[in-house]
Amino acid sequence: MKVYRDYLKLHLKAILEYKASFILSLIAQIFVFFTYYFIILTLFDKFKNLQGFNIYEVLLTFSIIHIGYSMNETFARGIDQFDRLIVNGDFDRILLRPRNILLQTMGFQIDYVKTARIIQSIIILIYSLIKLNIEWNILRIISIILMIISSIIIFFCIFLIAASYCFLTVQGLEVRNVFTDGGKHCAQYPIGIYNKVFRRIFTFIIPYALVNYYPLLYLIGKSNNALYALLPLIVIIYLIPSIWIFNKGSKKYLSTGS
């Protein structure tokens, strides 16, 4: 982890060399993120609930998903833009260094500008929790913590699998946006609002439902099944095949000749 900490320090030092640009970029990110929030506000200005979920319950799922996505955009940007490392030949240099390949890839690019989205998501999370007046107990506290952690993990796994395809295709596949950016926009609402086919896809293939739907039902009192609170733990299992696929691909990588 020392390697990754060094990357964090270097990128922070580099971005602070241009403070005005950094501040303006942060402000721009705040306005961009606000448009996502504004869409939900507009939706609930017309409809009082979304298939039984009120605005604060939707904002809770919204904030949890965006925390996970923004954390990966900020601190694992190198994986998100892995195709550039391949095309530019930078991954060849990473392979020559006697350090963990995955950590080097994560730290190759760190986008501190996206921290604005993390902060906004946390503010919306706290606001929605206050408005929901949840009857807190130990299991519900554990549940909300696991929801946030699993949100970070699920997007990390998706980014990692998408990056692994670059070993075969060199250029990144646009279809990955369906599962990353597109998945973010779908999962920011409770999965229960979708039809049965989508619910099954988002439960058994890309388990967004284990992140912010079933645990949500227990958290807000729509279900008394305490097992729902621990379902985010299953998402951690997805780390195993994701990291294995990436490591397997890196061992078979033969360079692009850049």
Model confidence at 7, pLDDT cuts 50, 70, 90, reads confident
Residue 248 lies in a domain: yes
Q: In whole angstroms, what is the distance from residue 120 CA to residue 167 CA?
A: 35
Residue 203 lies in a domain: yes
Residue 41 lies in a domain: yes
Residue 257 lies in a domain: no
Q: In whole angstroms, what is the distance from residue 254 CA to residue 62 CA?
A: 41
Q: In whole angstroms, what is the distance from residue 240 CA to residue 191 CA?
A: 25
Residue 171 lies in a domain: yes
Which among 69, 36, 33 has a CA at the least distance from the CA of 148? 69
Residue 53 lies in a domain: yes
> Tell me, what's the pLDDT at 237?
93
Q: Domain count of the chain?
A: 1
Q: Is the per-residue pLDDT at 35 higher than 90?
A: no
3-state helix, strand, coil in the chain (%, to 5): 80, 0, 20
CB atoms within 10 A of CB 66: 25
Q: Is the per-residue pLDDT at 6 higher than 80?
A: yes
CA distances to 61, 83, 147 from 204, in Å: 19, 28, 17
> Tell me, what's the pLDDT at 240?
94
Least confident of 3-17, 113-127, 230-244: 3-17
Residue 145 lies in a domain: yes
Q: What is the pLDDT of residues 172-225, one digit of tens each?
A: 666 667 777 888 888 999 998 898 898 898 999 889 999 999 999 999 999 999
Q: Is the per-residue pLDDT at 93 higher than 90?
A: no
**Domain of residue 87, residue span:** 2-252
- DSSP symbol at 203: I
Q: Where does 37-159 show beta strands of DSSP type E?
A: none
